[in-house]
Amino acid sequence: MASDDQIDLFSLGELAAPAQPLDPELIPTDAKVPIPTGTYSDMEEIKAHCNRCHRCELGATRTHAVVYRGNIKAPIMIVGEGPGENEDLQGLPFVGKSGQLLDKILESVQLTEADVLIANIVKCRPPENRTPTPAEMDACRPYLLEQIRIVDPKIILLAGASAVRGLVGDKRGITKIRGEWIEWEGRFCMPVFHPAYLLRNQSREKGSPKWLMWQDIQTVRAKLDELQQS
């Protein structure tokens, strides 16, 4: 072998390294650039893209984009508002106190992580846990729409007013619209209180937020049973 053709052992690592999953140059950094339906083939692609995303300013301060936990073939999707501190650190949604309560609510009607996929309206933590702005929700919406397309859930739980506004565009307060099915894109969407709100309202009295959540989650369980029988 001529010396010019010899393989440089020090560059073997580079040759063997896997191709980057996505070229950062190709990621739309302007929220006006659409991400069309069918862009992603699976949830891991969405996750990789979100971790490089700068379609809004939240990308500048995140530790991890928080894309999902649960079963990608689940019949139920749960959509929250956006990651908090624990979620940002771990890269998983609803892993703090709200998440523990959410898991308990699900368990109360025999639902586990196998039955749900949990996601959020915005994938990156808003500073100081503020409510995401309409522009941030709009910028992030294509990712959620792609998640819904891939999971194809029969039922979507919308936890809190931001989730309702961010997905179905209804701006009414959650107290007004919780507990009533909204049909959206052929799916049954149920607005419910956000678990953080329940943590601040501990009463279990009839008519209290916790009591109402108990009614709503039973309604969801009954709908799932009905859909699975038909």
User: Contact residues for ligand URA (CB under 6 A)?
Assistant: 66, 80-84, 87, 93-94, 98, 120
Query: By beta-carbon distance, which residue lies closest to ligand URA?
Result: 80
174-177: Cβ within 8 A, 24+ apart: none
- Nearest distance from residue 228's CB to ligand URA, in Å? 27
- Nearest distance from residue 205's CB to ligand URA, in Å? 25
Sheet with 76-80, edge to edge strand ranges: 69-70, 116-120, 76-80, 155-159, 187-192, 182-184
Which token pair is 221? 């369980």
Q: Which is nearer to ligand URA, 24 or 134 (CB)?
A: 134
- Nearest distance from residue 181's CB to ligand URA, in Å? 21
Which CA distances in Å does 35 have to 27, 38, 47, 56? 10, 9, 14, 14
Q: Which is nearer to ligand URA, 83 or 142 (CB)?
A: 83
- Nearest distance from residue 175's CB to ligand URA, in Å? 17
DSSP output for 101-124? HHHHHHHTTT--TTTEEEEESSSS
Q: Which is nearer to ligand URA, 49 or 123 (CB)?
A: 123
DSSP output for 6-37? ---GGGHHHHHSPPPSS-GGGS--STTS---T
Q: Which is nearer to ligand URA, 84 or 153 (CB)?
A: 84
- Nearest distance from residue 83's CB to ligand URA, in Å? 5
Q: Which is nearer to ligand URA, 93 or 142 (CB)?
A: 93
